[in-house]
Amino acid sequence: MKAAVYYETGAPDVFRYEDVPDPACPPGGVVIDVEAVSIEGGDVLNRAGGAMAGTPHIVGYQCAGTIAEVGSNVTDRSVGQRVVAVAPFGSHASRAAYDAQATWVIPDGLDLQQAACVPIPYGTADVCLFEFGRLRKGEAVLIQGGAGGVGIAAIQLAKRAGATVLATASSDEKLARLQSEFGLDHGINYKQVDLADEARKLTGGRGVDLVVDSVGSTLLKSIDALAYKGRVVTVGDMDQGKQPVDTSILSARNLTITGVFFGAELLLGNGRDLVAQLIDDVARGTLKVVVDRTFPLSDAAAAHAYIESRQAFGRVLLIP
C-alpha cells in the first residue's frame, strides 16, 4: 500500500510518499481501505516532534473508509461497511488497521468525507464545553481558534445549548463566516485587539464564564478574560506554548483550569457513545462540518504546511 511516512520528525518536508507493507488485521480489529484522512492538530504536532511508533512512521489519528477485512473475534462489523475510525497513529495511508471498538458505522446518506471529520474535533468540543466546562444556558463562552475544527464544532454546540458565544480568529473574513453560517454572537480578531479586553467589553465588563482554549500560547489571556468563578478548559497546544501559571491569579477570583485529552474519554469515559450521537447529529443536519480543502495523500507535506499557515477554515483532508 501507499503511505505518507517519515523517518524523523520535523517540518512538513520530512514526509515521503512510499510503498509500505499492508497492515495485518488483529483478531479484535478491522482493516479499512482509507478514502479520507482528517488531519488533526495532534497529527501536526506529532510530525513536528512527537513519538514515533517505528521507522518509517505513519502518523495520523482519524480517517474514514470501507472495511476490507474483519478480525476473527469481531461480530459487529462486516466487510463493505463504511466507517470512521480513531487510533493513536496510522491514518496517513491507503490502508489502516483499527480496533473494531474504535470505529463507528457511517449512516446511510452521510458523506464519507464529512464523517471523517467528526469523532475527535466534535467529541473534544462537546466534552470541553459540557463534561468539563459545565456550560449552562445563558452563560458566555469564548472559543479560542474559532475557525478550526474544534472551534467550529464548539460554536455550534454552545449555541444550541443557549450560551452567548464569542470566538477568536485571525481575520475579519473568518469571523464574518462564523457569524453568518454558525450564529457566532461576537467575533474577536486577535491580531487587531487585545482579546481579553475585548471579551470583557463584549460582556459588559464582566468577562466570560468559560473559555475553551486549544491554542496554548493564549492561556494567560484566556484566564484574564474570565468572570468571577470562571473556568478555562485547555485542550491541545497548537502553538506548543510554555505558559507557566501563577496559581495566585486563579485563587484571587476563584478561577478553575482543567486540562482535557479526548483520547482518555474514549478509553475511560462515555466518549464512544458521545461520538455515535455526534455522527448522527451531522447526518441529520443539526450539526455542520466544513471541509476547507482536500489534498492527495502524496501531498501530505503541502497539506500539513497549509494547516500550519493558519489559512484553513474548517478541516483539511488527505485523499489516498
Which of the four pLDDT bands, split at 50, 70 and 90, describes residue 57?
very high
* SS3 state at 231: strand
Which whole number is the average pLDDT over 204-215?
96
Residue bearing cell 489502516 = 96
CA 113 to chain CA mean position, Å: 15
The grid cell for 228 is 468571577
> In the prediction, which pLDDT does 238 show?
56
> How many other CB atoms are found less than 10 A from the CB of residue 167?
28
Which runs of consecutive H residues, i.e. helices, occur in the chain? Answer: 41-49, 112-115, 119-126, 149-160, 172-182, 195-202, 219-224, 248-251, 262-268, 271-284, 300-308
Q: What's the Rg (C-alpha) of the chain?
A: 20
What cell numbers appear for 38 in the block?
482528517
d(CA 291, CA 316): 6
The answer on pLDDT for 249 being more than 90 is no
Query: Which CATH homologous superfamily contains domain 121-264?
Result: NAD(P)-binding Rossmann-like Domain (3.40.50.720)
DSSP state of 130: I
The grid cell for 16 is 515521503
The Cα 202–Cα 13 span in angstroms is: 42
The region, left, alpha or beta by phi > 0 then psi within -120 to 50, assigned to residue 145 is left
Domain boundaries, the chain: 2-117+289-319, 121-264
Residue 175 and residue 153: Cα distance in Å, rounded? 14
Domains 2-117+289-319 and 121-264 share a fold: no
pTM of the model: 0.95
How far is C-alpha 206 from the chain's CA centre? 29
Q: pLDDT per residue over 97-143, tens digit each? A: 999 999 999 999 999 999 999 999 999 999 999 999 999 999 999 99
pLDDT score of 241 = 53
Q: Is residue 126 helix, strand or coil?
A: helix
* Count of Cβ atoms closer than 10 Å to residue 35 Cβ: 17
Reported CATH class of domain 2-117+289-319: alpha beta
pLDDT beyond 80 at 312: yes
Contacts by 10-14, CB closer than 8 A, 24 or more apart: 10/47, 10/48, 10/49, 11/48, 12/47, 12/300, 12/301, 12/302, 12/304, 12/305, 12/308, 13/301, 14/47, 14/301
Instruction: Report residue 248's pLDDT band, with 50, 70 and 90 as the boundaries.
Output: confident
